Structure 1
Amino acid sequence: MNTARILSIAAVAAFASIGAQAGELNGNLYGTDFEAHVQSTRSSTDVRAEGQKALPNFAKGPVADYAARTTSNLDRAAVRSDALVAIRAHQIATGERS
């Protein structure tokens, strides 16, 4: 059992090192150096300004609008107690299985 385990670990390590060497020799492992060949046509200040302009509209949408309009009539303690009851009744997944 131990021999098979050691051999399987050695095989995985060998395949990983061969893959790493192939990437280094080729200089382009699955397009990882794509950014090195791209020349931007816009300045960073233009991009930041566009991002700042779009930021207020980022969180708006049907889900966000619905959540903003929803009001709750429960306080924090009531929500926590309901959550404890649901956890004890196994209605909420907890731990590593969730």
Structure 2
Amino acid sequence: MNSKAILAVAAFAAIASAGVRADEADASQFALQFTSTRPVAEVKAEAIVEAKSHSTIPAASKVMEPMKTSTEVRTVRAQAIEAVRLGQIGYGEAGGL
């Protein structure tokens, strides 16, 4: 019984592996024909200008100046608490309108 199971597994493996074949690693199917209308020197000069003028600081890390206002923080907080109490704005995860 044990030998029959081994023979069955071996036969299945032989049949399954016969259908698996890799294609030729030929890059010609990926080759593209490209004709440029700009000279190489122009493209390089443009790349140098862009590299020198490009900022490496992410836009999200920039901090805005505090806004100048005459309203006090206590007043704004009190208004927000009152709006939540009256149901004018949501509160927490289930606080959608």
TM-score range, shorter chain: 0.3 to 0.5
TM-score using structure 1 length: 0.38
Structure with the higher helix share, 1 or 2 = 1
Larger Rg: 2
TM-score using structure 2 length: 0.38
